[in-house]
Amino acid sequence: MTYVERVLENLKKNNPNEPEFHQAATEILTTLAPVVEKHPEYEAWGLLERFVEPERVIMFRVPWVDDKGKVQVNKGYRVQFNSAIGPYKGGLRFHPSVNLSIIKFLGLEQILKNSLTGLPIGGGKGGSDFDPKGKSNREVMAFCQSFMTELYRHIGADTDVPAGDIGVGGREIGYLFGQYKRIRDEHVGVLTGRGLSYGGSLARTEATGYGLVYITEEAMKARGDSFKGKTVIISGSGNVAIYACQKAQSLGAKIVAMYDSNGYIYDPNGIQLDVIKDIKEVKRGRIKEYAQRVKGSKYTEGCKGLWSIPCDVALPCATQNEIDEQSAKLLVENGVKYVAEGANMPSTLEAIEVFQKSGIVFLPAKAANAGGVATSALEMAQSSGRLFWPFEEVDKKLKDIMVNIYHNIDNASKEYGYEGNYVMGANIAGFIKVADAMLAHGIV
Ligand code: NDP
CATH assignment at residue 80: 3.40.50.10860
Of the residues 187, 222, 252, which one is the last residue of a structural domain?
187
Residues 61 and 131 in one domain: yes
Of the residues 158, 187, 216, which one is the last residue of a structural domain?
187
Q: Is 319 in the pocket of ligand 1 (CB under 6 A)?
A: yes
Q: Tell me, what's the pLDDT at 53?
A: 98
Q: What number does the ligand 1 atom closest to the CA of 208 have?
A: 40
Q: What are the tens digits of pLDDT across the range 291-335? A: 999 999 999 999 999 999 999 999 999 999 999 999 999 999 999
Residues 23 and 145 in one domain: no
Residues 77 and 152 in one domain: yes
Strand boundaries in 217-346, DSSP class E: 231-235, 254-259, 263-266, 298-301, 313-316, 338-340
Q: What are the tens digits of pLDDT across the range 142-157? A: 999 999 999 999 999 9
Nearest CA to ligand 1 atom 21: 261
* Average pLDDT, integer, range 78-103: 98
Residues 58 and 38 in one domain: no
CA distance readout (Å), 138 to 141, 143, 145, 288, 387: 5, 9, 10, 27, 32
What is the distance in A from the centroid of ligand 1 to the CA of 241?
8
What is the distance in A from the centroid of ligand 1 to the CA of 131?
13
In sequence order, what are the residues at sequence separation of 6 or more whose Cβ sits closer than 8 angstroms to the Cβ of residue 21?
Answer: 11, 15, 100, 101, 104, 105, 108
Q: Is 127 in the pocket of ligand 1 (CB under 6 A)?
A: no
Distance CA 105, CA 73 (A): 24
Q: Tell me, what's the pLDDT at 371?
A: 98
Q: Is there a catalytic annotation at residue 125?
A: yes
Closest Cα partner for 339 from 365, 375, 304, 357?
A: 365
Residues 44 and 73 in one domain: no
Q: Is 352 in the pocket of ligand 1 (CB under 6 A)?
A: no
Q: Is 318 in the pocket of ligand 1 (CB under 6 A)?
A: yes
Query: Which residues is 61 bridged to in the sheet?
Result: 75
Residues 41 and 143 in one domain: no
Structural domain includes residue 349: yes
Q: Which of 112, 239, 277, 327 has most ligand 1 atoms within 8 Å of CB, for mutation?
A: 239
Q: What number does the ligand 1 atom closest to the CA of 133 have?
A: 48
Residues 32 and 65 in one domain: no
Q: Tell me, what's the pLDDT at 344?
A: 95
Q: Is 364 in the pocket of ligand 1 (CB under 6 A)?
A: no
pLDDT band at 185 (very low <50, low <70, confident <90, very high): very high
Q: What is the percent of the chain where pLDDT is above 70?
A: 100
Report DSSP state, residue 196: G
In sequence order, what are the residues at sequence separation of 6 or more whose Cβ sits closer than 8 angstroms to the Cβ of residue 34?
Answer: 416, 417, 418, 424, 428
Q: What are the tens digits of pLDDT across the range 249-292? A: 999 999 999 999 999 999 999 999 999 999 999 999 999 999 99
Pseudo-torsion of CA 24, 28, 30, 33, nearest 10°? -160
Structural domain includes residue 382: no
pTM confidence score: 0.97
Closest Cα partner for 306 from 242, 257, 239?
A: 257
Q: Is 208 in the pocket of ligand 1 (CB under 6 A)?
A: yes
Structural domain includes residue 45: yes
Pairing label, strands 88-94, 123-128: parallel
Q: Tell me, what's the pLDDT at 24?
A: 98
* Average pLDDT, integer, range 93-115: 98
| Structural domain count, the chain | 3
> What residue type is 105 in one-letter code?
F
CB 210 within 8 A of CB 374: no
Q: State the sign of the Cα–Cα–Cα–Cα dihedral 13, 17, 19, 24.
A: negative
Alpha helices in 222-294 (DSSP H): 239-250, 273-277, 288-293
Distance CA 362, CA 291 (A): 31
Question: Could you tell me how far CA 334 lies from the centroid of its own chain?
Answer: 27
In this structure, what are the phi and psi dihedrals at residue 94, rounded to the nearest 5 degrees?
Answer: -110, 105
Structural domain includes residue 239: yes
Residues 183 and 247 in one domain: no
Distance CA 311, CA 307 (A): 9
CB 426 within 8 A of CB 116: yes
What is the distance in A from the centroid of ligand 1 to the CA of 236?
6
Length of the chain: 444
CA distance readout (Å), 299 to 20, 34, 326: 30, 46, 22
Distance CA 178, CA 224 (A): 48
Q: Is 206 in the pocket of ligand 1 (CB under 6 A)?
A: no
Q: Tell me, what's the pLDDT at 136?
A: 97
CB 399 within 8 A of CB 214: yes
Full domain range(s) for residue 15 = 1-53
Other beta carbons within 10 angstroms of residue 301's beta carbon come to: 9
Q: Tell me, what's the pLDDT at 142?
A: 98
Q: Indicate which residue of 113, 125, 254, 280 is catalytic.
A: 125
What is the distance in A from the centroid of ligand 1 to the CA of 68?
29
Q: Tell me, what's the pLDDT at 399?
A: 98
Residues 3 and 130 in one domain: no
Q: What are the tens digits of pLDDT across the range 226-243? A: 999 999 999 999 999 999
Residues 37 and 146 in one domain: no
Q: Tell me, what's the pLDDT at 83?
A: 98
Nearest CA to ligand 1 atom 34: 344
Structural domain includes residue 383: no
Q: Is 240 in the pocket of ligand 1 (CB under 6 A)?
A: yes
Closest Cα partner for 318 from 262, 383, 260, 263?
A: 260
What is the distance in A from the centroid of ligand 1 to the CA of 199?
24
CATH of the domain at 258: 3.40.50.720
* 329 burial via Cβ count (<10 Å: 0-12, 13-18, 19+): middle
* Average pLDDT, integer, range 15-42: 97
* 305 burial via Cβ count (<10 Å: 0-12, 13-18, 19+): middle
